[in-house]
Structure 1
Amino acid sequence: MYDVVICRVAYRSRNNSVNEIEESKVCHAYGAIFDAGVSVKVLDFYLDDSLKIEDIVTTGAKIVLFYVRWPGEFWTKSQQTIFELRKINTEQLVAVFGETSVGQEKALRETPIDVVITGEEPEIVDFVKTILSGGKWNDCTGIMYLNDNQLVVNQGSALIHNLDELPRAKHYWLEYCKENGKPLDFMKAAIRTSRGCYARCKFCFITGYDDLYDDFRWRGRSAENVFEEIKEIYNTYGITEFVFTDANFFNNSKESRQRAKKLSGLILDSGMEIKWLIYTRANDVDEELFAFMKKAGLYAVLMGIESFVPAKLKRYAKGTTVEQNYKAIQILKDLDIYIHPGFILFDKDTTVDEIRADLEGLKWAIEGKPELFVNPIVLVGSIFIPYEGSRSESDYLSIVTDSERFLLGAMDQRMSELDSCLKYGFRDKTVASIADAGWVFAREMGSQQYHKRKLYAQMIERLLVDEDDNEAFELIQKLIEWRKLLAHITIHTFSEIVVNLASNPDPVSARFTELDKAWEKVRHFNIQYLGQEYSDIRWVEEYNKLKTAEKHVVG
């Protein structure tokens, strides 16, 4: 029996998935509560598909903490899970924590939760211990709740600026796998080396923390402290691949670059052969520093490029330039560092000329080394989402008449899932047609990529059982070659869709014709590299439903 149970929901089916990873914020909350002497268990429905809602109840926990991100599919699934939990148990106190900088009142009014925790680990621990000792949790800091249908905001206390003082994160999934004899060979470990971000992009939820704390800013753990966690995981679990899950690994300062250099030196001096990924911005990419980091194991970066159009970067308050984007990409390409790009091809004000310019930039980016772009689907189907509470929300809610907007089938379906997007639409009918085609095309290419990753993992498992399995070995080689050109086929095929729709007098009707042509190119690509057996279009059933239910233009 436990006093506290921490839950992360499974917001998509992850059966037989690959490269899954625990949530670092859960690791930190788990570590802090455990360190405080409280009996605590983590139930990660995302990683363990055998879990049921009843398992939350059978823990006997008095307090249930749900890790959440909102809005979007993850929060929608969290809401569903909480409603189901309340049907079978009303005695457990339910609180949410995690990415809770915006949308707190809406969550409290729409979901049967008792508390939204906006504070960090010390306030989570104080909240938990207050309840378990029979105290008044209503007086705890860093929380929000409803009292007589009125929102009560208990401001957070001062943030911990020396993150080294916080208890060490406990890696719950690695613990579980080791204790239950599950293989750790291809596992990754998630490590948070910092908090916050110095940038103030208009679309980002992080800016919501400015309303919660007077001194919210980027804070980093010391290089020594991060290295000790890496070493502990490496020695305890044999993990050699790490994802640094910071919003931004750097702070646009000399000190944060020195921290990166020192951490890299500690890794090199230790003799550990590890790989690691970071989140960064284009203006933080420095050739000399990143070359040194690569020697220490840096193999990939998640970098928000967003656009190659100056006007769009200005609309997003990105704080970077097109020239910085080009320079950062070239440095990473020269160093053969993989790029997980963040990109926004469409927003309500996007023009056809902007789409063309962005696609030309993307063609340049992948030229010569398309294999370095790890997730190309985000480059062609990415939509600007004005999340509730972000600085961009009011711009989209101000669209008051349907005549001002165009939104087609697939995009209409997507945007209807988000309250902040109920009035979302494009000002240009051709852009709306291209965006709708882009969303459908990206869904298919994402499904293709996901299926091939699963297939790759299955072949690896076969080789672990029988190293002489030539069929598995040969398919792995084919999958590697297929993967190398995925970004190329994705971007160039979608560019053809854009060219044809932009010149068509009826782009709304023509988008399905262009997508049908694209599917033939994808089939041919699959046959060429993998054979007829793996040539199918994965999303065809849903696609055909969209064609049948075509509503043309909303408004």
Structure 2
Amino acid sequence: MKILLLEHPRSIEPERCNDIANTPLSSCLLSGYAAAMLNSRGHEVEIVEGYLDKLSYAEIKNIVSAWKPDVLGVHMVYHWQTDRALYGFLEQVKNAGLTSYITAYGFYPTIAYADILQECPAIDSVIVGEHEITFVELAEALSCRVSSVNLPGLAVRDSTGVQYRRREVLADLDRLPTPVRTEAMYRLPEVNLQGSRGCYGRCTFCYINPFYGAGSRWRGRSPDNIVAEIDGIIAERGVRDFYFTDPNFFGPGQRGQERALRLAALLKPRQIRFGIEGRVNDIHDETIAALREAGLRHILIGLESGKDSSLKRMNKMTTVAQNEEAIRILRKNGLEPNVGFIMFEPDSTLEDIRGNFEFLLRNDLLHNLPVTANVLYHHQIVLKGTPAFQHLQQQGRLQLERHSSYEGVALFADTQVAVLADLMRQVTNYLFNRMAGIWGGKVPEPENAREKYARINRLLIDIFENALETLERGKQWDKEQTQAIVRQFEKEINEVFLQI
């Protein structure tokens, strides 16, 4: 069969510029793995990079028209809205007879499959969870004109609504073929790799494990299998910069550390540079030192909070002491961590916010402007399918966004925390939009950039600290006072940039 896989166009809303990535990084290879698996079964497959290649829907329609695929697969990504533009495009394609079957796959449709099938009649099915085997079986069923209604892992409409049952996840990831990578993917600064799937953690805000299904677990490819893929990429492209998209690079416990050490030993002679993500309790001195020697250059760790009470509410299964030990180990080995941090979670108190702030100061995490802007605002994004979404909805504290039932806005338990969160959201959104061109490499940095960034960084810290102290004294303020602070911040930033 001829199968076209679409990475659809996506937009970034200015008011959401400081929100976390709307789909896990590990989803970036979904189309590549689907293409590789389908190719291995004899199907003709092409990936259309509508997002990375900045294609319009008119251009994509021309590609679909020329190709006339038997199946159009759409990797659906949530970008802070119900994607009416995508739905309209799919309706056009279907009505024009350019394809007879459309299926969607990805993190977002896995959780929101019922809504998607209801809202977009052009979509015939949604692949739920791990998609490779389901996609192959779907293609085989369609090519043989056999009904796919009872196919595990496939959500479809029937006379009673939507029918679906989970498929077991792959036990051995080494069985997967090497993912197809497009030219657009090779233009990224680093080549993305996937060394594992899932996570042994159970954080309330995360939907990695809900994607794979109840009872899913961390699964890792063997170090030899990973290195074979890297060797192939080096031989074909000559690139030596990689990023492991795994939400948890390290497997659990001692076995996880031993696997990481084995991988480090294999990577070291290849002289590559790479980045990873991991949990703080997996940051061990011996392992990090070995990975550093093997080429580890950057790492993201999910600190999330500087208060044990908050970490417990998020079910992080980590402590503040472990957070600080992880930072110490990484810096000892010459690595400044990129950190995940949730300053404002729904049940935060001013005491929690104070603890977070002092933690950031104590651990010297407020000296870099992009990081400072990030950690002094971030609230907890609440997406459907996560334990946090279910818990807040049961408590009646979740307001669904007007543009999508997939995302909820949590009502803060503490109204003073809500005031501070609103202030910092507006302040940091302005900053991120003001700096977008510079940080995106499209606009040159100003003269004396380091000094100017340091001044803005200090402004941010002062606004946060002064507002927190005011609220701690019990003083109330209204939206007009918030707007006055935001306007003053905007004025001072512009004055900084005007100075030579």
Q: Same fold (TM over 0.5)?
A: yes
Deviation of 1:509 (Å)? 2.8
Q: Does the 8 Å contact 2:389/2:408 carry over to 1?
A: no
Question: 1:71-110 alignment to 2 at 5 Å?
Answer: 72-73=79-80, 76-77=82-83, 79-90=84-95, 91=97, 92=99, 93-99=101-107, 100-110=109-119
> Is the partner of 2:382 in helix, strand or coil?
coil
> Is the partner of 2:105 in helix, strand or coil?
strand
CA–CA distance in 1 between the matches of 2:418 and 2:401?
13
Deviation of 1:117 (Å)? 0.6
Deviation of 1:164 (Å)? 0.9
1:129 paired residue among 114, 128, 140: 140
Find out whether 1:302 has 2:272 as its counterpart. no
CA 1:255/1:427 → structure 2, altered by over 3 Å: closer, same or farther? closer
CA–CA distance in 1 between the matches of 2:11 and 2:233?
28
Amino acid at match of 2:486: L
Q: Does the 8 Å contact 1:22/1:47 carry over to 2?
A: no
CA root-mean-square deviation:
3.1
Q: Does the 8 Å contact 1:234/1:240 carry over to 2?
A: yes
Find out whether 1:163 has 2:173 as its counterpart. yes
Find out whether 1:454 has 2:440 as its counterpart. yes
> Is the partner of 2:47 in helix, strand or coil?
strand
1:344 equivalent in structure 2:
342
> Is the partner of 2:378 in helix, strand or coil?
coil
1:522 paired residue among 473, 493, 497: 493
What whole-Å deviation, never above 9, does each CA across 1:161-185 have from its counterpart, x for those lacking one? Answer: 221111111112357x6xxxxxx5x
Find out whether 1:117 has 2:150 as its counterpart. no
What whole-Å deviation, never above 9, does each CA across 1:190-214 have from its counterpart, x for those lacking one? Answer: 111101100111111133257x465
> Is the partner of 1:242 in helix, strand or coil?
strand
Deviation of 1:481 (Å)? 6.9
Amino acid at match of 2:89: E
- Between stretches 189-198 and 129-138, larger displacement belongs to 129-138
What whole-Å deviation, never above 9, does each CA across 1:528-549 have from its counterpart, x for those lacking one? Answer: 6xx4xxxxxxxxxxxxxxxxxx
CA 1:420/1:125 → structure 2, altered by over 3 Å: closer, same or farther? closer
1:3 equivalent in structure 2:
2
Deviation of 1:84 (Å)? 2.4
1:259 equivalent in structure 2:
259
2:207 equivalent in structure 1:
205
1:439 paired residue among 421, 425, 429: 425
> Is the partner of 2:383 in helix, strand or coil?
coil
Deviation of 1:480 (Å)? 6.6
1:26 equivalent in structure 2:
31
- Between stretches 485-494 and 224-233, larger displacement belongs to 485-494
> Is the partner of 1:103 in helix, strand or coil?
helix
Question: 1:391-430 alignment to 2 at 5 Å?
Answer: 391-400=387-396, 415-419=401-405, 424-430=410-416
CA 1:394/1:142 → structure 2, altered by over 3 Å: closer, same or farther? closer
Deviation of 1:258 (Å)? 1.7
- Between stretches 51-60 and 135-144, larger displacement belongs to 51-60
CA 1:349/1:511 → structure 2, altered by over 3 Å: closer, same or farther? same
Amino acid at match of 2:317: G
More contact order relative to length (CA 8 Å, sep ≥ 6): 2
CA 1:492/1:32 → structure 2, altered by over 3 Å: closer, same or farther? farther
- For structure 2, the 5+ residue unaligned runs are 14-24
Deviation of 1:349 (Å)? 2.0
CA–CA distance in 2 between the matches of 1:110 and 1:149?
16
CA 1:324/1:280 → structure 2, altered by over 3 Å: closer, same or farther? same
1:241 equivalent in structure 2:
241
Find out whether 1:54 has 2:61 as its counterpart. yes
What whole-Å deviation, never above 9, does each CA across 1:445-501 have from its counterpart, x for those lacking one? Answer: 32244321234x666xxxxxxxxxxxxxxx599557767887666445433343345
Deviation of 1:234 (Å)? 2.1
Amino acid at match of 2:329: I
CA–CA distance in 2 between the matches of 1:275 and 1:126?
38
CA–CA distance in 2 between the matches of 1:127 and 1:479?
54
Amino acid at match of 2:357: L
CA–CA distance in 2 between the matches of 1:377 and 1:241?
27
> Is the partner of 1:304 in helix, strand or coil?
strand
CA–CA distance in 2 between the matches of 1:76 and 1:167?
33
> Is the partner of 1:159 in helix, strand or coil?
coil
Amino acid at match of 1:498: L
CA–CA distance in 1 between the matches of 2:429 and 2:495?
18
Q: Does the 8 Å contact 2:384/2:406 carry over to 1?
A: yes
What whole-Å deviation, never above 9, does each CA across 1:22-49 have from its counterpart, x for those lacking one? Answer: 9222221122122222111111222011
Deviation of 1:377 (Å)? 3.3
CA–CA distance in 2 between the matches of 1:225 and 1:491?
46
Question: 1:287-298 alignment to 2 at 5 Å?
Answer: 287-298=285-296
CA–CA distance in 1 between the matches of 2:383 and 2:222?
32
Q: How many residues align?
A: 479
CA–CA distance in 2 between the matches of 1:374 and 1:198?
30
> Is the partner of 1:154 in helix, strand or coil?
coil
